[in-house]
Amino acid sequence: MVLVPESLKYTKELAKLFAGSDNILLISHINPDGDAIGAQLALFYYLLSTGKTADMIAPNNLQEFLKWMDGADKINVFIRQRERCKELIERADLIVMLDFNQSNRLGEAEQLVLASKAKRVVIDHHLNPDNYSDLLISDPSACSTSEIIYRIVTELNGSPFIYRPYAEALYVGIITDTGNFDHGSYSGDTFRIVADLLETGIDKGKIQNLVYNNFSSDRMRLMGYALNQKMVIIPEFQTAYISLSKNDLKTYHYVKGDTEGFVNMPLSINGIVFSVFFVEKDGFVKLSFRSKGTFPVNEFASRFFYGGGHLNASGGEYPDTLENTVSYFLKILKENFGNLNNIN
């Protein structure tokens, strides 16, 4: 018996929705990462190839290292183009939400999307999705939403869809969500998909350079400062954290995306299983959580920091100063590390 992957169970239903819709809108999540944008662009190009028209919205700006992608300039950024985005949401008859499992990840677009008359579809790989769609295609066994899009599009197309910007977008989604095949639930199937993508002739060296080797010298120095001056290790809780203030970012001429990956670095320390990155925003603190092994950062994020994500990679936020957020975190850590570390 051939098992149908979770993501292919609803392809027929999705095909009907595509066929019956004239104004399809694809929306990624706030602070869109390589997977959200990769999945969005890939589905966009596939829909165009079938003669459909589609529009794209991201709740806020793309990170610098994603802006080179073909079609990235066609993504409407909600916080910069509110009126245009409002129009697109209102006239949509199908809204496809990519790479998130809670509607608040739509940011300022949330209320408009939820109030829209359009049919709503979610395509995602996070655990425990909320119920905010008419059709939910959720497959947490996939390493990325991009992997799911590859499967669905291949099924809909009857064979792999061959088009360079499509393959590049999916490749970016897969390498960024797995940290170049370092973490996340990648599988043999992921490699088979990557093999197909590479065989279409995309230049993996070029993509690697554009995504990972294209930062400013300031970013490198910010990383050095973060590791040397700002990383705190708490051996009794196998935890390390880094916190950066707005002032720190200003000193190093921060641009969006510069702190990407910082949270992963302390996990390379022997004995550290939990890593946290704090960054000060206007009126709140954004947190990123990573773990190795069974420490459930998604639970930590959802219980204490209004967030969520995957077992080993999650995020959240806290509406207080950087200093108070770090103190609150330390208190929560002390009270909960033992329990959470042992539940699995």
- Which residues bind to ligand 5GP, rule: CB under 6 A? 31, 102, 263, 288, 307-310, 313-317
Site string for Mn ion, 282-311 (x = CB under 5 A): ------------------------------
Residue environment code for 140-174, b if the CB has 16+ CB neighbours within 10 A, otherwise e: eebbbbbbbbbbbbbbbeeebbebeebbbbbbbbb
Among candidate residues 136, 151, 143, the one with its CA nearest the CA of residue 46: 151
DSSP-assigned letter for residue 268: G
Residue 34 touches which of Mn ion, ligand 5GP, none (CB < 5 to 8 A by kind)? none
| N-to-C CA span, the chain | 31
CB of residue 125 vs Mn ion: minimum separation in angstroms? 6
Q: Evaluate whether 284 touches 307 at the Cβ level (below 8 Å).
A: no
The tokens describing 79, both together, are 């916080």
Among candidate residues 173, 149, 177, the one with its CA nearest the CA of residue 161: 149
Where do runs of H (alpha helix) occur along 68-203?
82-91, 110-115, 145-157, 164-177, 188-199
For residue 291, the SS3 value is strand
Q: Evaluate whether 305 touches 316 at the Cβ level (below 8 Å).
A: yes
User: Of the listed pieces 170-178, 189-197, 284-292, 318-326, which binds Mn ion according to CB under 5 A?
Assistant: 170-178
Residue 308 touches which of Mn ion, ligand 5GP, none (CB < 5 to 8 A by kind)? ligand 5GP
Per rule CB under 5 A, is residue 177 in the interface with Mn ion?
yes
Residue 309 touches which of ligand 5GP, Mn ion, none (CB < 5 to 8 A by kind)? ligand 5GP
Rounded alpha-carbon distances, angstroms, from residue 280 to 177, 183, 234, 286, 300: 24, 26, 21, 6, 19
CB of residue 271 vs ligand 5GP: minimum separation in angstroms? 22
The tokens describing 100, both together, are 């998130």
Q: Is 307 exposed, middle or buried (0-12, 13-18, 19+ CB in 10 A)?
A: buried
Task: CB nearer to ligand 5GP: give 7 or 288.
Answer: 288
User: Of the listed pieces 139-147, 149-157, 211-219, 279-287, which binds Mn ion according to CB under 5 A?
Assistant: 139-147
Residue 184 touches which of ligand 5GP, Mn ion, none (CB < 5 to 8 A by kind)? none
Per rule CB under 5 A, is residue 35 in the interface with Mn ion?
yes
CA distance 63 to 67: 7
Residue 288 touches which of Mn ion, ligand 5GP, none (CB < 5 to 8 A by kind)? ligand 5GP
Task: CB nearer to ligand 5GP: give 266 or 316.
Answer: 316
The residues near 100 (Cβ < 8 Å, ≥ 6 apart) are 28, 29, 36, 106, 122, 124, 126
Q: How far is CA 278 from the centre of its chain?
A: 18
Per rule CB under 5 A, is residue 147 in the interface with Mn ion?
no
CB of residue 92 vs Mn ion: minimum separation in angstroms? 23
CA distance 287 to 281: 10
Relative to beta strand 119-124, strand 54-58 is: unpaired
Residue 313 touches which of ligand 5GP, Mn ion, none (CB < 5 to 8 A by kind)? ligand 5GP
User: Of the listed pieces 21-29, 50-58, 98-106, 309-317, which binds Mn ion according to CB under 5 A?
Assistant: 98-106
Q: Which one of 37, 38, 78, 99 is in contact with Mn ion (CB under 5 A)?
A: 99
Task: CB nearer to ligand 5GP: give 162 or 255.
Answer: 255
CB of residue 162 vs ligand 5GP: minimum separation in angstroms? 29
CB of residue 42 vs ligand 5GP: minimum separation in angstroms? 18
Residue 38 touches which of Mn ion, ligand 5GP, none (CB < 5 to 8 A by kind)? none
Task: CB nearer to ligand 5GP: give 173 or 308.
Answer: 308
User: Of the listed pieces 32-40, 65-73, 180-188, 248-256, which binds Mn ion according to CB under 5 A?
Assistant: 32-40
Q: Which residue ranges make up the site for Mn ion (CB under 5 A)?
A: 35, 99, 144-145, 177
